[in-house]
């Protein structure tokens, strides 16, 4: 449905743009223009785009040719259809593709696109922490010096954005086994200014988009933005620093890495995917020292003797400790940097033999440079690589569903034997919450029904009162759809609270009707008939009108400030309050109109039923 609407509306917009364009004179490519002036040309999407000319451009034949090559659309020569005719026939070639039309339509009309696509699913609404966490991972072969240079460059670039208050980059990891961050991983915490100080029209998503465009100049550098608390929770719970992680498990690390690149190519084509990056475990440079056991045996050496020299010369060895006051500093011995970096000079390092002679290391071992894995991750006894991705401008549930469909269709049939694909990240929390809610919601309704049955001693009466749930649900769903909130744990908590409140007001209405009916029966006695029943129900419903309206007005008035709030936590509270507000309004109509009608229908059936004798 959304694709169809997108094609129709985009075609209409293209025709309008073409009509506007045909009413204004357009300069020919290569016409006389003053330096710095702009010529407006049509693009493939039918959108007018200004094309700036630098001084001196287009003054000669070469400039004319370059300008003609750079133009997306041109004034057609005689005999060729013009842009208006193309638009009148239904748009341009780019619009004929469903995905292109859908993406362009969503970017132009985000609210309408969201309404047409329905409500999606997510675990929890994203909490605005007032900061961002930027965690790019460079290629494994990147040197420490280059990583430091890139970190300083990106800090300066991010700080140049007016909405950014401060930037702090972290390189390396803590002295603990629980922080396995490689050297090529940079953690940058970005503190943002209050939104009241932002540029007019700037949004959080627009800020992330602007930063992403500025940070895409480094090879293998995939910008991805989360928030500090959000990222830590994902890392602790799933081990993957993104909303979706596609884990590939197998036994061959090189095959896993290649398959991760294939999955990355598939995910990047899916609408809404941002920050798609595979874990790069291959390509780390190593210096390998392989001992020659025959050569060592000639000199009476053991492998440990040779490797001790390698360890001390390349990695360094603590030989003693110096004490200065209450501080202790280890003293380490190692080769100088110029000797460590030159593979020929490493081979000249002398190794002492038991006889007192010194033999060059190159005669006792083979020294060569090689590449290998930067890290080896395993899960359930199998090697693991992953592809991470974040979601933008769509819900997580539909995004993961499309990812699964594409991967099952394009990747899984070609998987080697013994290789499997699993899904992780925030999506795990979504699945877990879904399983829990599928138990909680029916259980809640069942408990409510049992309590109503205990009160009324009748399944019909209990079912009558519990009908308030679907009527309240309609109002909540309508308002949720109108505001564009996805189904999440916060939304379902709001629905559970709504169910209890709606049924409580239904119980009170039935109590009022019962009391008025008993009063009318006591007054009329044996002459009680259908007209008396209807009058009693009207009197009872009229008596309940003011308390019901006051109840709904109080609940709605108490929750409305949440819908206008912009403080921390409002992103979670708004979806929670939305079902309650919408549901209370619809339940008001149900309680005042539908409940008395159903009550009258049930009591009329009792009046029409033949009176039973005491013997019966």
Mind giving me the DSSP string for 396-418? HHHHHHHHHHHHHHHTGGGPPTT
State the CB neighbour count (10 A cutoff) for residue 611.
6
Claim: this prediction has a pTM higher than 0.85: no
Within 71-193, residue ranges assigned H as helices are: 83-88, 98-108, 110-116, 144-159
* CA angle (422 as vertex; 420, 428 as ends), nearest 5: 170
If you average pLDDT over every residue of the chain, what do you get? Answer: 75
Residue 586 lies in a domain: yes
Which value, to the nearest 10 degrees, does the dihedral of the CA atoms of residues 147, 425, 266, 422 take? Answer: 120
Number of folded domains that form the chain: 4
Q: Do 172 and 105 share a structural domain?
A: no
> Which of 271-275, 281-285, 358-362, 490-494 has the least mean pLDDT?
281-285
Res. 321 pLDDT band, cuts 50 70 90: very high
Contacts of 68 (CB under 8 A, 6+ apart): 29, 30, 74
548 and 581 share a domain? yes
State residue 30's pLDDT score. 38
Kindly tell me if the per-residue pLDDT of 549 is higher than 50: yes
Q: By percentage, how much of the chain surpasses pLDDT 90?
A: 3
d(CA 118, CA 107): 17
Identify whether residues 592 and 524 lie together within a single domain: yes
Flag whether 271 is in a domain.
Answer: no
Lowest mean pLDDT among 65-74, 321-330, 366-375: 65-74
Task: Count the Cβ atoms, other than its own, within 10 Å of residue 517.
Answer: 20
For 327, the 3-state DSSP assignment is strand
In this prediction, residue 174 has a pLDDT band, given cuts at 50, 70 and 90, of low
3-state secondary structure 49-96: EEEECCCCCCCCHHHHHHHHHHCCCCCCCCCCCCHHHHHHCCCCHHHH
pLDDT band at 539 (very low <50, low <70, confident <90, very high): confident
Give me the pLDDT at residue 37, please.
Answer: 36
Q: What is the pLDDT of residues 124-171, one digit of tens each?
A: 777 788 888 888 878 777 788 888 888 888 888 889 889 999 998 888
Pick from 476, 495, 485: nearest CA to 115: 485
Neighbours of 45 (CB within 10 A): 20
pLDDT at 220: 63
Q: Does the pLDDT at position 214 exceed 60?
A: yes
**Residue 218: which domain range?**
136-223
What average pLDDT does the segment 567-594 reach?
Answer: 84
Q: What is the spatial distance between Cα 117 and Cα 125, in angstroms, rounded to a whole number?
A: 18
For residue 518, pLDDT beyond 60: yes
Residues 45 and 93 in one domain: yes
* Assigned domain for 388 exists: no
CATH code at position 156:
3.30.70
Among 28-37, 290-299, 602-611, whose mean pLDDT is lowest? 28-37
Residues 104 and 213 reside in one and the same domain: no
CA separation (Å) from 572 to 129, 447, 523, 576, 578?
12, 27, 54, 7, 11
Q: Which residues of 488-502 are buried (b: 16+ CB within 10 A; e: fewer)?
A: bbbbbbbbebbbebb
81 vs 432: CA distance, rounded Å? 57
Position 68 scores a pLDDT of 34
Mean pLDDT value across residues 590-615:
71
Decide if pLDDT at 117 tops 60: no
The answer to the question of residue 431 being in a domain is no
Q: Helices 530-564 and 570-589 meet at what angle, rounded to 10? A: 160
Question: Whose structure tokens read 């929670």?
Answer: 576
Confidence band for 120, pLDDT divided at 50, 70 and 90: confident
Nearest by Cα to 44 from 104, 114, 121, 118 = 104
Q: Is 164 helix (H, G, I), strand (E, B) or coil?
A: strand
Query: For position 407, what pLDDT does the model report?
Result: 92
Q: In the structure, what pLDDT confidence band is assigned to residue 53 with cuts at 50, 70 and 90?
A: very low
For residues 110 and 142, state if they share a domain.
no
**Do 8 and 96 share a domain, yes or no?**
yes
**Least confident interval from 75-89, 241-255, 372-386, 465-479:** 75-89
Are 105 and 152 part of one and the same domain? no
Look at residue 57 and tell me whether its pLDDT is greater than 60.
no
Residue 92 lies in a domain: yes
8 A C-beta contact, residue 409 and residue 328: no
pLDDT at 249: 92
Same-domain check for residues 43 and 153: no
Mean pLDDT is highest, among 54-68, 488-502, 585-599, for 488-502
Instruction: Name the domain boundary from 223, 245, 262.
Output: 223
């Amino acid at each position: 449905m959304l694709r169809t609407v997108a094609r129709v509306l985009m075609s209409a917009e293209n025709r309008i743009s073409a009509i506007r364009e045909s009413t204004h004179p357009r300069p020919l490519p290569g016409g006389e223009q003053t330096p710095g002036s702009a010529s407006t040309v049509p693009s493939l999407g039918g959108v007018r785009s200004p094309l700036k000319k630098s001084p001196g451009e287009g003054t000669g034949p070469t400039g004319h040719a370059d300008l003609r090559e750079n133009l997306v659309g041109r004034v057609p020569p005689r005999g060729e259809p013009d842009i208006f005719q193309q638009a009148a026939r239904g748009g341009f070639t780019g619009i004929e593709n469903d995905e292109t039309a859908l993406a362009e339509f969503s970017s132009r009309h985000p609210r309408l696109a969201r309404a047409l696509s329905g409500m999606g699913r997510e675990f929890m609404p994203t909490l605005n922490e007032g900061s961002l966490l930027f965690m790019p991972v460079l290629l494994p072969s990147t040197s420490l010096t280059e990583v430091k240079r890139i970190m300083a460059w990106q800090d300066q670039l991010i700080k140049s954005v007016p909405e950014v208050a401060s930037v702090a980059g972290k390189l390396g990891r803590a002295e603990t086994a629980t922080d396995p961050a490689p050297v090529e991983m940079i953690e940058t915490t970005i503190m943002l200014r209050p939104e009241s100080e932002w540029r007019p029209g700037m949004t959080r998503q627009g800020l992330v988009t602007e930063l992403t465009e500025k940070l895409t100049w480094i090879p293998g550098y995939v910008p991805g933005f989360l928030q500090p608390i959000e990222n830590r929770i994902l890392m602790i719970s799933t081990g993957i620093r993104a909303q979706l992680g596609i884990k590939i498990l197998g036994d061959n690390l090189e095959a896993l890495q290649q398959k991760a690149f294939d999955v990355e190519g598939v995910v990047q084509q899916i609408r809404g995917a941002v920050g798609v990056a595979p874990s790069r475990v291959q390509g780390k440079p190593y210096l390998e020292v392989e001992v020659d056991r025959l050569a060592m045996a000639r000199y009476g050496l053991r492998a440990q003797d040779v490797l001790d020299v390698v360890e001390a010369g390349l990695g360094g060895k603590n030989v003693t400790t110096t004490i200065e006051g209450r501080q202790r500093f280890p003293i380490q011995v190692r080769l100088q940097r110029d000797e460590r970096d030159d593979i020929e000079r490493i081979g000249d390092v002398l190794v002492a033999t038991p006889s007192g002679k010194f033999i060059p290391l190159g005669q006792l071992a083979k020294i060569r440079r090689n590449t290998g894995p930067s890290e080896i991750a395993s899960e359930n006894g199998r090697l693991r690589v992953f592809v991470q991705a974040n979601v933008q401008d769509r819900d997580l549930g539909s995004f993961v569903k499309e990812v699964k469909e594409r991967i099952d269709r394009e990747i899984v049939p070609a998987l080697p034997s013994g290789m499997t694909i699993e899904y992780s990240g925030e999506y795990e929390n979504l699945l877990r919450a879904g399983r829990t809610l599928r138990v909680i919601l029916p259980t809640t309704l069942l408990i409510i029904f049992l309590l109503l049955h205990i009160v009324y001693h009748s399944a019909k009466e209990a079912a009558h009162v519990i009908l308030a749930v679907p009527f309240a649900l309609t109002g909540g769903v309508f308002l949720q759809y109108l505001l564009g909130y996805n189904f999440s744990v916060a939304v379902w908590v709001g629905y559970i609270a709504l169910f209890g409140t709606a049924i409580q007001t239904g119980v009170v209405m039935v109590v009022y009707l019962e009391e008025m009916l008993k009063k009318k029966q006591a007054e009329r006695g044996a002459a009680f008939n259908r007209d008396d029943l209807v009058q009693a129900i009207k009197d009872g419903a009229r008596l309940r009108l003011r308390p019901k309206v006051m109840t709904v007005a109080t609940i709605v008035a108490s929750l409305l400030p949440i819908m206008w709030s912009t403080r921390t936590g409002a992103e979670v509270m708004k979806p929670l309050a939305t079902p309650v507000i919408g549901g209370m309004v619809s339940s008001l109509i149900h309680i005042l109109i539908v409940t008395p009608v159903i009550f009258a229908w049930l009591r009329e059936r009792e009046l029409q039923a033949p009176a039973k004798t005491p013997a019966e």
